[in-house]
Amino acid sequence: MVKPPRYVSAIQPYVPGKPVEELERELGIRDSVKLASNENPLGPSPLVLKEIINDLTNTKSSLSLNRYPDGNGYYLKQALSRRLSVSEDEIILGNGSNELIDIAARTFLQPGDEAVMAHPSFVVYPMATQAQGATAIQIPLKKYTHNLDAMADAITSSTKIVFIANPNNPTGTMNTKAEFERFMKRVPEGILVVCDEAYCEYVTKPDYPDSMKYLAQGKDILILRTFSKMYGLAGLRIGYGIGRKDIIGEMNKLRPPFNTSSIAQKAALWALQDENHLQRTREINEQGKTYLYKELDSIGMKYVPTEANFIFMPLEHDAHTLYTILLKQGVIVRPMGQHEIRVTIGLPEENKRFIDALKKVMG
């Protein structure tokens, strides 16, 4: 029998949720609200939808489904280059930023290496590390936030990558400019700092680190961003990484030739042009955050203040039990471990559904 390496067979696979339609069928419910995956409740920009439909129905359009996509993402990389003031060869596109985490691990890790990361944080970091036969060194959060001092302490001669999610998923917390600056000063040369900024557009605090500053200084840093969250393109799977030319060049050796689709590239191009949609998304998120804080306070539920589009809630009881009870009321949240749940900030009516269901559960 063919068997993979032991470090691969030991990986605990990511467990996706069932389609909403299937959950409704199984439970006999209708009109459920999904607040489990940190998606933009407004969806993509109307401009994106209009232009994609126009291109798909225009026989002279370059968006032909029988043709392979642009393997280099030429036009999208041009647009990102102008927006970020970096060269095009300092940008890599991915099938979501998730794929870029995997490519970074495959490029820079080998058996016997170590990667330092926080716990809990994005589940893909330890999975991608273990898939290369490397060891994930997981440092507990401090007050639900990356303990960057302890992470720097954990760096050894075997460390090749440090993963930092800022804001962090699942807690929504943020490391400040001062914390990040202190950390970067302690990281030796030759260690890649992967700064995952999937939720950076939601941040409201003024002391959010400027990671691009370290790229300009020539540091060993890879900055990851995505169109899945703020831009509402989660279903099209497109993200991008920014790093020095040599880092991006090495990663491109392992990047699949056609890893981002034509539709995803075109949608991302149009999404970049609709600032009004981004502003509306921010407003909806801030309004929802304020409402949820107020209501959770009113029933004495603990939560972690967030800089993202979700709220992490420590519980005094079993998370899966609460998840199941809420699910039967048509509200889908995400259990995170035994005593925590994560709830996406949705539209006003979705947030109210969650609070009403939670109040009912709490008696």
Q: What is the DSSP string of 203-254?
A: ---TT---THHHHHTT-SEEEEEESSSTT--GGG--EEEEE-HHHHHHHHTT
Mark out the alpha helices in the chain (DSSP H runs).
6-9, 20-27, 46-57, 74-84, 96-108, 124-130, 148-153, 177-186, 212-216, 245-252, 262-271, 275-298, 319-328, 348-362
- pTM for the model stands at 0.96
CA distance 12 to 238: 25
Q: Quick one: 222 exposed, middle or buried, by C-beta within 10 A (0-12, 13-18, 19+)?
A: buried
For residues 298 and 218, the answer to whether their CB atoms sit within 8 Å is no
Exposure string of 334-353, with b = 16+ CB inside 10 Å and e = fewer, is bbbeeebbbbbbbeeebbbb
The amino acid at 153: D
Percentage with pLDDT > 70 across the chain: 99
CA distance 199 to 196: 8
Residue 66: band (very low, low, confident or very high) from pLDDT cuts 50, 70, 90: confident
Q: What is the pLDDT of residues 205-244, one digit of tens each?
A: 999 999 999 999 999 999 999 999 999 999 999 999 999 9
Q: Is the pLDDT of residue 335 over 70?
A: yes
Q: Enumerate domains of the chain plus CATH numbers.
A: 16-45+275-362 (3.90.1150.10), 46-271 (3.40.640.10)
The amino acid at 307: E
Residue 56: band (very low, low, confident or very high) from pLDDT cuts 50, 70, 90: confident
Terminal-residue alpha carbon distance, the chain: 54
Mean pLDDT computed over every residue of the chain: 95
Exposure string of 279-289, with b = 16+ CB inside 10 Å and e = fewer, is eebbebbeebb
Q: Is the pLDDT of residue 14 over 90?
A: no
What integer pLDDT is reported at residue 24 of this predicted model? 82
For residues 293 and 300, the answer to whether their CB atoms sit within 8 Å is no
Q: Is the pLDDT of residue 80 over 80?
A: yes
Greater confidence (348 vs 362) lies with 348
Q: Is the pLDDT of residue 59 over 70?
A: no
SS3 161: strand
SS3 192: strand
Q: What is the pLDDT of residues 90-132, one digit of tens each?
A: 999 999 999 999 999 999 999 999 999 999 999 999 999 999 9
* Residue of 228, 232, 266 lying closest to 45 (CA atoms): 232
